[in-house]
């Protein structure tokens, strides 16, 4: 759980211009949207200049809503369906307000968070009055708003369907659902029903398009794991094919990775109720990393309960992000942004810098084992490949993310470090324009993570420590002043590597370059916008879970 911070983050990050407004075509829907979008998503004053091109055909307009839900005062208590609906309708009223706001901005799809309608911390019995009956969209074509009496206990689905019609947009929301089962079904629970954590997708005419039932439950005693994994995609007229999964699913192969084997899936819908955990698994951090790793867009809606460490939503593509992170304000927040229909990948690309800079040349020479030569005014100096001026730093251990990392301190204004654990060796080549009074460390972990879930990770991480002592490395911090130019790399034995990158004030950074070189995966960055908090390569070995 993240500690409280006195901050609000509503930002856009970009390498090239993400949005633009054509003032010469100001009467167009796109131009009107873009000006409005800056106001809603970024808090930029409406009077500030908008510069842009009309690229309506290449983009769609999306919204995600970070919702501060009205929670049951006692989720363990038994209640009636009527009482459950009274509570859920308060949250649905808030949803409807956001849909109407989004409709005015030309939004084509809106996403609401996990647990946003009913809340959490229920038992299997106490959540029952909050569950809607869920027919299979594969078997039944149904518009709940227009056919409200077709099935009993579908009041929530009816309201969501009507919102989609009213807002003339695709709508994705999360709710609890129930499905009767028979004793002949070997997986049927003793009470004769399945209970699922469910995302539903409605088209802009209110039709139930599809549903996804969460597979990787996170200590959710009220819900069942579906008998088979749902691999759900749906088509839209404005941006092609979307995939969908929920919260903890993002860390596992099924359904998240398998969905993306479909090359037509360019966009992921991601309702979540994520408790931030720094330095490696803050909500916006993993959302952005997933977008970058797969070259897709991620529409992520988180719940908003700062006292529980729950905040962080965003609309992310590899090169751009609009995000919201606020540990102080109790209110929810609507993000609206224009999203490329075909996101541009960052992997294997580099900025157009002309000639290769010396640091990248040195990095490539280190990996290839060649001598590295520098020319000064008089002569050429060469380092032999065997030495490379590897810094002699003490190795130490510290707990990070409940795992026992092996680390070395990052001292001095420049250097080349390496630290190894099991089969994974992590390296750092760095320069610092000025030294700050902070301790940074390069850490490695190659093993099975076993707290709050069991999964195998390989991690190379450059982190700012909580204090000046080695035992503070791995603590949760959000502010930093240390500026680095660096290459971070490791000999990973997986191709599933997520680049985690945060700077001071919960600011997302974008690497200059990512990719494979001589069987090592690397991240390269210069020109940080603020002090470095975390730069990490987070590898997942799904087959070792």
Q: What is the CATH number of the domain that holds 95?
A: 3.60.110.10
507 part of a folded domain: yes
175 part of a folded domain: yes
Do 148 and 87 reside in the same domain of the chain?
Answer: yes
CA distances from 475 to 276, 379, 459 (A): 13, 46, 16
Output the pLDDT for position 4. Answer: 38
Q: Where are the beta strands (DSSP E) in 263-371?
A: 265-272, 297-302, 313-316, 320-326, 333-340
Please give the model's pTM, rounded to 2 decimal places: 0.89
Cβ atoms of 178 and 211 within 8 Å: the answer is: no
Output the pLDDT for position 349. Answer: 58
Number of domains present in the structure of the chain: 2
Instruction: Say which of 5, 37, 66, 114 is annotated catalytic.
Output: 114
pLDDT tens digits for the chain (545 residues)?
Answer: 443 343 445 565 443 334 433 222 222 333 333 333 433 443 322 222 222 334 557 999 999 999 999 999 999 999 999 999 999 999 999 999 999 999 999 999 999 999 999 999 999 999 999 999 999 999 999 999 999 999 999 999 999 999 999 999 999 999 999 999 998 999 999 999 999 999 999 999 999 999 999 999 999 999 999 999 999 999 999 999 999 999 999 999 999 999 998 889 999 999 999 999 999 999 999 999 999 999 999 999 999 999 999 999 999 999 999 999 999 999 999 999 999 999 999 886 554 444 578 899 999 999 988 765 655 555 666 655 444 456 778 999 999 999 999 999 999 999 999 999 999 999 999 999 999 999 999 999 999 999 999 999 999 999 999 999 999 999 999 999 999 999 999 999 999 999 999 999 999 999 999 999 999 999 999 999 999 999 999 999 999 99
436 part of a folded domain: yes
Q: What is the C-alpha separation between 344 and 54, in angstroms, rounded? A: 18
Q: What is the C-alpha separation between 525 and 487, in angstroms, rounded? A: 7
Do 307 and 412 reside in the same domain of the chain?
Answer: no
Do 66 and 182 reside in the same domain of the chain?
Answer: yes
32 part of a folded domain: no
Instruction: Say which of 214, 320, 362, 464 is annotated catalytic.
Output: 214
Cβ atoms of 128 and 287 within 8 Å: the answer is: no
69 part of a folded domain: yes
Residue 462: burial class (beta carbons within 10 Å; 0-12, 13-18, 19+): buried
Give CA angle at 76 (65, 402), nearest 5°.
Answer: 65
Output the pLDDT for position 5. Answer: 40
Do 515 and 446 reside in the same domain of the chain?
Answer: yes
Residue 133: burial class (beta carbons within 10 Å; 0-12, 13-18, 19+): middle
CA distances from 223 to 68, 123, 419, 494 (A): 22, 9, 42, 32
Q: What is the C-alpha separation between 408 and 391, in angstroms, rounded? A: 10
CA distances from 423 to 318, 360, 364, 518 (A): 29, 25, 21, 16
Do 329 and 470 reside in the same domain of the chain?
Answer: no
Instruction: Say which of 21, 35, 37, 247 is annotated catalytic.
Output: 247
Buried b (16+ CB within 10 A) or exposed e, 389-428: eebebeebebebbebebbbbbbeeeebbbbbebeebbbbb
DSSP 295-312: T-EEEEEEB-BGGGTB--
Do 267 and 147 reside in the same domain of the chain?
Answer: yes
Of 335, 105, 113, 338, give the one whose Cα is nearest residue 239: 338
489 part of a folded domain: yes
Q: What is the C-alpha separation between 484 and 218, in angstroms, rounded? A: 36
Q: What is the C-alpha separation between 88 and 130, in angstroms, rounded? A: 8
Q: What is the C-alpha separation between 457 and 168, in angstroms, rounded? A: 43
Do 328 and 421 reside in the same domain of the chain?
Answer: no
- Which residue range is the domain that position 275 belongs to? 59-340
9 part of a folded domain: no
Do 198 and 303 reside in the same domain of the chain?
Answer: yes
Do 166 and 247 reside in the same domain of the chain?
Answer: yes
Do 175 and 311 reside in the same domain of the chain?
Answer: yes
Do 139 and 230 reside in the same domain of the chain?
Answer: yes
Do 194 and 65 reside in the same domain of the chain?
Answer: yes
Output the pLDDT for position 471. Answer: 97
Q: What is the C-alpha separation between 402 and 399, in angstroms, rounded? A: 6
- Residues with Cβ within 8 Å of 140's Cβ and at least 6 positions away in sequence, in order, are none
Pairing type for strands 520-525 and 513-517 reads antiparallel
Chain-centroid distance of CA 423 in Å reads 28
Output the pLDDT for position 101. Answer: 98
Based on the residue annotation, tell me whether 247 is a catalytic residue of this protein. yes
Q: Coil, strand, or helix at residue 363?
A: helix
Computed from CA positions of residues 444, 259, 342, 9, in that sequence, does the dihedral angle turn out positive or negative? negative
Based on the residue annotation, tell me whether 214 is a catalytic residue of this protein. yes
Based on the residue annotation, tell me whether 413 is a catalytic residue of this protein. no
76 part of a folded domain: yes
């Amino acid at each position: 759980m993240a500690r409280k911070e006195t901050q609000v983050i509503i930002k856009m990050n970009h390498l090239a211009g993400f949005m633009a407004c054509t003032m010469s075509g100001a009467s167009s829907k796109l131009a009107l949207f873009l000006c409005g979008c800056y106001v809603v998503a970024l808090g930029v004053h409406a009077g500030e200049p908008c510069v842009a091109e009309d690229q309506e055909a290449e983009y769609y307009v999306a919204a995600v809503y970070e919702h501060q839900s009205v929670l049951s005062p006692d989720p363990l208590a038994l209640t009636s369906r009527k009482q459950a609906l009274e509570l859920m309708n308060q949250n649905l009223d808030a949803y409807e307000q956001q849909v109407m706001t989004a409709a005015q901005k030309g939004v084509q799809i809106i996403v609401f968070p996990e647990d946003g309608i009913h809340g959490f911390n229920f038992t299997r019995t106490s959540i029952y009055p909050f569950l809607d009956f869920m027919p299979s969209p594969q078997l039944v074509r149904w518009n709940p708003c227009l056919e409200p009496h077709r099935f009993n206990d579908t009041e929530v689905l009816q309201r969501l369907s009507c919102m989609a019609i009213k807002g003339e947009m695709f709508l994705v929301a999360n709710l609890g659902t129930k499905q009767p089962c028979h004793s002949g079904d070997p997986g049927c629970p003793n009470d004769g029903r399945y209970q699922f954590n469910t995302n539903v997708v409605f088209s802009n005419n209110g039709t139930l398009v599809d549903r996804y039932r969460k597979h990787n439950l996170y200590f959710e005693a009220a819900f069942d794991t579906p008998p088979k994994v749902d691999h759900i995609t749906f088509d839209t007229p404005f941006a092609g094919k979307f995939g969908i999964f929920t919260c903890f699913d993002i860390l596992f192969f099924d359904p998240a990775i398998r969905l993306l084997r479909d090359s037509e899936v360019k966009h992921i819908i991601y309702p979540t109720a994520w408790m931030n955990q720094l330095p490696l698994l803050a909500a916006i951090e993993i959302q952005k990393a997933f977008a970058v790793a797969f070259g897709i867009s991620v529409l992520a809606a988180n719940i908003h309960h700062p006292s529980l460490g729950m905040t962080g939503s965003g609309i992310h593509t590899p090169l751009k992000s609009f995000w919201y992170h606020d540990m102080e304000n109790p209110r929810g927040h609507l993000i609206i942004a224009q999203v490329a229909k075909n996101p541009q990948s960052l992997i294997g690309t580099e900025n157009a810098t002309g000639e290769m800079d010396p640091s990248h040349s040195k990095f490539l020479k280190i990996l290839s084992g060649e001598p590295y030569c520098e020319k000064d005014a008089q002569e050429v100096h060469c380092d032999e490949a065997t030495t490379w001026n590897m810094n002699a730093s003490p190795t130490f251990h510290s707990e990070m993310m409940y795992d026992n990392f092996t680390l070395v301190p990052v001292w001095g204004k420049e250097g080349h470090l390496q630290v190894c654990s099991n089969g994974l060796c992590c390296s750092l080549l760095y320069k610092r324009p000025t030294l700050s009074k902070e301790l940074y460390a390069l850490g490695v972990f190659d093993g099975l993570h076993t707290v709050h879930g069991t999964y195998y990770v390989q991690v190379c991480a450059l982190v700012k420590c909580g204090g000046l002592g080695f035992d503070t490395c791995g603590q949760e911090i959000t502010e930093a002043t240390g500026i680095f130019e660096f290459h971070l790399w490791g000999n990973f034995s997986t191709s599933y590597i997520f680049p985690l990158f945060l700077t001071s004030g919960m600011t997302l950074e974008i690497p200059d370059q990512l990719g494979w070189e001589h069987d090592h995966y690397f991240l390269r960055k210069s020109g940080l916008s603020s002090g470095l908090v975390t730069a990490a390569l987070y590898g997942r070995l799904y087959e070792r879970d």
